[in-house]
Amino acid sequence: MKKFTMLALIAGLALGSASAQTALKIASLSPLSGGQSDLGTQIKNGAQLAVNEYKAQFKALGFDLSLTGYDDQADPATGTAAARKIAADTSILAVVGTLNSGVAIPSSAALAPSHVAMVSPANTANQVTDRGLKNMNRIVARDDAQGPAGANFIVDKLGAKSVYLLNDKTAYGEGLATEVKKALTAKSIKIAGDEGTEEKSDFSAIIAKIKLTKPDVIYFGGIYNQIGVFAKQLREAGVTSPLVGGDGLDSAELLTIAGKGAENIYFTTVAAPADALPAAKTVAANYKKAFGKDIQGFGIFGYDAAKVTLQGVLAAIKANGNKLPTRTQVESAMRSVNATGLLSGTVQFNSVGDRKAAKMYIMNIKGGSLVLDSTLDVKAPIN
């Protein structure tokens, strides 16, 4: 009887200890369904790996840490609706997201009145941070760095004298193509064409114009699910000019969609491939074990963005006497964080939430594989 009583007491103490844990959540916001779900799922899964690593550290402080994933479907309205749900859940202190700049802009605005901090692993449009919101931060380079990098590659490496510009009519694609055009024009490169398109299945009219103007290079600011179809039809029409894009092409799904058309394609990306980061080997193995797939660039940056987020939350907890901080305290701590131990290097933000120093990677598709062409160091504008 005494033995039973002692066991019951131990069990009761264990339950009491477990119940003393305070729920603390971060959220991910990215496309988990639809045509861009490959990249969005990478972001969420990368964030989950970081949360798994930090659970014990939060538990020691009395917090039960978890990640809640929200699906924005790469749609601004859906993302904004999800942001409002996040704002209503007071146990969520910060957000890792989004993939698309067009989703980040309204979503961060919806979260701003509730002071829910965001750390983006992917958004590059200048206006994401140029609006000056206190809650919006990103760990990747801006369009005004990525656009010129793409333009310089087109001119210096590909030797182009004329370029046909396309964009997908989103904040991301249009903003990126605009920066590329600006840089090309400054170099006196002929713009053979410049148009936006939401077409997803039949690019014959656009390809006819390209065949007529015969540009040295085609630049398409957009996402892999659209550009993959375009690339396939472009090559089937006999156009062999190099196709260049931005980090929206940074998905292994591009090769599947484009098929044999996935050759002579280049893209700038703000997310490093795993083989470019020696420290990513262990994380890549953990990702494969947990999710049964290989980690890609945005999985790595989802992981890093979540680590930045969690270090910001921990800083707010410490500043609050190891007690649960307010969202405003987390928002403030995030902007001044000095995040270390990341795969992509130390992260510090300037006054508007841009990463002070970042890297840009130029990838090439050769023989059905993504190959790293070159790496560039970029700095955020002074703010």
Each residue's pLDDT tens digit, 246-267: 989 988 899 999 999 999 999 9
Which residue has better confidence, 263 or 113?
113
Q: State phi, psi for 88 to the nearest 5 degrees.
A: -75, -20
CATH at residue 260: 3.40.50.2300
Q: Are 217 and 154 in contact (CB under 8 A)?
A: yes
Q: What pLDDT does residue 27 have?
A: 98
Share of the chain above pLDDT 90, in %: 80
Shared domain check, 108 and 154? no
Read off the pLDDT of each residue in 54-60 and give the average, rounded to a whole number: 98
Bridge partners of residue 70, in order along the sequence = 29
My answer on whether 319 and 371 are in the same domain is no
**Do 120 and 170 fall into the same domain?**
no
**What average pLDDT does range 115-136 have in this prediction?**
96
- pLDDT tens, 63-100? 999 999 999 999 999 999 999 999 999 999 999 999 99
How many structural domains is the chain composed of? Answer: 2
pLDDT in tens, 227-238: 999 999 999 999
DSSP string, 177-226: HHHHHHHHHHTT-EEEEEEE---SS--HHHHHHHHHH--SEEEEES-HHH
Domain range for 208 is 144-269+362-379
pLDDT at position 371 is: 87
Judge if 210 and 330 occupy the same domain: no
* Whether residues 136 and 217 fall in one domain: no
Q: Are residues 76 and 150 in the same domain?
A: no
Residue 310 in this model has a pLDDT that exceeds 70: yes
Residue 376 has pLDDT above 90, yes or no: no
Helix (H) or strand (E) holding 257: helix 253-258
pLDDT (average), residues 54-65: 98
